[in-house]
Structure 1
Amino acid sequence: MNVELFSLEARARVHAALGDPARLAIVDALTLGDASPGEIGQDLGLPTNLVAHHVKVLQDAGLVTRTRSEGDRRRTYLRLVPEVLASLAPPPLAGADRVVFVCTHNSARSQLAAALWRDRVGGPVASAGTHPAARVHPRAVKVAHRHGLSLDPAGTAHVGDIVHDGDLVIAVCDNAHEDLAGPAAPVHPRLHWSVPDPVRVDTDAAFEAAYIDLADRIDRLAPAVIPAGVPAPHRPE
């Protein structure tokens, strides 16, 4: 994953600043409103010297700014910098023309993942297999229908026929990820989700567990995927 070093260093500084319970409590206190250092000390039961120390650490990490009161000019207020706090999330995956989910047979996990993405996120999505089966597994069709999704029982495809430049390729099984890891592979996944193969167990419960695992991962990934042509948001250095 392409993450610029300065972003990692900046995020590490923020994590380090939040590593003290008192500083985390100060950030919590400033999340919904501004406060003076004296008010922070009173609310949290901290002496003046400790408040000054913790506020300096938070300021150095870029988490907190200090402004002069428009009323009593001797007073200052602390304000949280929310975009710095938001930078703790992993960097976005920019430039995705389409999301393509890949598993070995394109008969269960990749099909469910594509159907979930289409339903919950929208936008271009496809699925494929490294060794596609002739048909989608009946239990995959069954669990999809149970959750209001539709799968084409005959709609399997080979990864080489589906993936194009600009696709965000996600391997949703270990075998597919490892098959596509070599230098001669037609495509290389950008992400790997180690979702257990429900076909090996071949029960409705196993397919339901795979569905739940994929749904949770898609909900976490979707906010980080930025379509091609849309600039990535600025992340504080």
Structure 2
Amino acid sequence: MPPAEDPLSRVFHALADPTRRAIIERLAEGPVPAGQLAEPFAISRPAISQHLKVLEEAGLITRTAQARWRLCTLTPEPLEAATDWVERHRAVWSDRFDALDDVLRSARGEQTGENP
């Protein structure tokens, strides 16, 4: 799959994988050396490195060299942008579902001869 072009698509692509979501949850507690991030997963270190690369390209984490380790830190701004997008669309769909409920209630009332 070619990499996503826009920042929001990269964030959603990164969040689509359960391993990457687990990494983000772990980093929410604070910075962690990359090697330690691999410990709870039953996958190779190169696979973890690929996951970290996707997260970094999405802007969700930063990796900085510290002595002989690469320290990974969560960057919350892209998550906030994704949350804002979801909330805007949730509000639109919620309004649409409320309108649909009104139409269905009205239709039921008409079928039974009741007033809406």
TM-score after normalising by structure 2:
0.67
Whole-Å separation in 2 of the counterparts to 1:77 and 1:10: 23
The 5-angstrom pairing of residues 64-83 of structure 1 reads: 64-69=61-66, 73-83=67-77
Counterpart code for 1:89: T
Question: How far is 1:81 from its partner?
Answer: 0.4
- CA change 1:43–1:9 in 2 (3 A) is same
Whole-Å separation in 2 of the counterparts to 1:59 and 1:26: 12
Whole-Å separation in 2 of the counterparts to 1:87 and 1:192: 20
Counterpart code for 1:90: D
**Among residues 23, 38, 45, which one is paired with 2:35 in the alignment?**
38
TM-score after normalising by structure 1:
0.35
Determine the structure 2 residue equivalent to 1:21: 18
Higher Cα Rg: structure 1 or 2? 1
Where does structure 1 lack aligned partners over 5 or more consecutive residues? 1-7, 94-189, 202-237
Question: How far is 1:191 from its partner?
Answer: 9.1
Query: C-alpha deviations, 1:144-197, integer Å up to 9, x for none?
Result: xxxxxxxxxxxxxxxxxxxxxxxxxxxxxxxxxxxxxxxxxxxxxx99823233
> Is residue 193 of structure 1 aligned with residue 95 of structure 2?
yes
CA RMSD of aligned residues (A): 2.8
Where does structure 2 lack aligned partners over 5 or more consecutive residues? 110-116
Counterpart code for 1:30: L
Say which SS state the counterpart of residue 43 (structure 1) adopts.
Answer: coil
Query: C-alpha deviations, 1:57-112, integer Å up to 9, x for none?
Result: 1111111101232xxx111210010111111023598xxxxxxxxxxxxxxxxxxx
Whole-Å separation in 2 of the counterparts to 1:27 and 1:64: 8
Determine the structure 1 residue equivalent to 2:50: 53
Whole-Å separation in 2 of the counterparts to 1:37 and 1:52: 8
Determine the structure 2 residue equivalent to 1:86: 80
Whole-Å separation in 1 of the counterparts to 2:15 and 2:79: 10
- CA change 1:52–1:192 in 2 (3 A) is closer
Question: How far is 1:44 from its partner?
Answer: 2.3
The 5-angstrom pairing of residues 59-208 of structure 1 reads: 59-69=56-66, 73-91=67-85, 193-194=95-96, 195=98, 196-197=101-102, 200=106
Q: Percent identity?
A: 29
